[in-house]
Amino acid sequence: MEILGIDVGGSGIKGAPVDIDAGQMLAERFRIPTPIPAKPRAVAEVVAEIAAHFNWHGPIGCGFPAVIRDGIALTAANIHPRWVEKKASALFSEKTGCPVLVINDADAAGIAEMTFGAGRGVSGTVLLITIGTGLGSALFTNGCLVANTEFGHLQIRGKDAELRASDAVRKEKDLSWEKWASRFDEYLVMMEELLWPDLIILGGGVSKDAEKFLPYLTVHAKVMPAQLRNEAGIIGAALAAQSLVSNLEYLGIRS
């Protein structure tokens, strides 16, 4: 079964059709820079452009950088504040002409990693941290998602953790991998003291450079880079949208 997965990020919006049975993208991902400012209509138009690029007319899963409940964005830490209380799923459906399920972006990446990646078959507590413009988080207990955790906003030294240890901060301050790893390790140690995970998966763009900073981490939990890397958000969003297919079939509508 094929579903279009879209990942809305702070710097780019990307998507691709996904074979949800195999957990693989069926085409090279198509990326468009996130509009500045990233207001609802502007972002929705980019989402529609990605759908049009693939001539897509079926269900869409969309990972979004906010707490999402019933398709509504409740926060806007790394997106324009006009998104708060906006029904993102309805807006994207209106612009694309397709049924759209919206899920927190880190939760989407976590679903992909737990199904096809580094967390596959792992029981106990698994914590995924996505490292990009901010710090996203996804928490699983025996394979079950605890949605919308937003651990990147926990306070360290009087600041949100992501304002000290995200990849955007590393680049902005031109930190060496060792210096950035010291900041990130402080965050992971705090997470370990709170949750005692059996496995920590690190995703986002820096996962491809894991060998440059993993040696500096001191947490006791096993730490692994995400296997699906930057594709995890797209694949996980598509996996999350399987419920749309079930609903359409129940209504007698072919996707």
Scan for tokens 């899963």, then name that residue.
61
255 domain-assigned: no
Greatest alpha-carbon span in the chain: 56
Would you state the pLDDT for residue 229? 85
Token pair of 227, please? Answer: 């296997």
* Number of domains observed in the structure of the chain: 2
Would you state the pLDDT for residue 43? 98
Token pair of 33, please? Answer: 């820079």
| Domain around 218 | 118-227
Q: What is the pLDDT of residues 66-77, one digit of tens each?
A: 999 999 999 998
Q: What is the pLDDT of residues 99-144, one digit of tens each?
A: 999 999 999 999 999 999 999 999 999 999 999 989 999 999 999 9
Would you state the pLDDT for residue 171? 96
Residues of the chain short of pLDDT 70, as ranges, are: 245-255
What are the beta bridge partners of residue 68?
73
Residues 88 and 182 in one domain: no
What gap in Å lies between CA 55 and CA 241, rounded to an integer? 18
Would you state the pLDDT for residue 252? 46
205 domain-assigned: yes
CATH number at residue 172: 3.30.420.40
Inter-CA distances, 89 with 9, 54, 68, 143, Å: 16, 19, 10, 26
Would you state the pLDDT for residue 247? 55
Residues 223 and 240 in one domain: no
Would you state the pLDDT for residue 133? 87
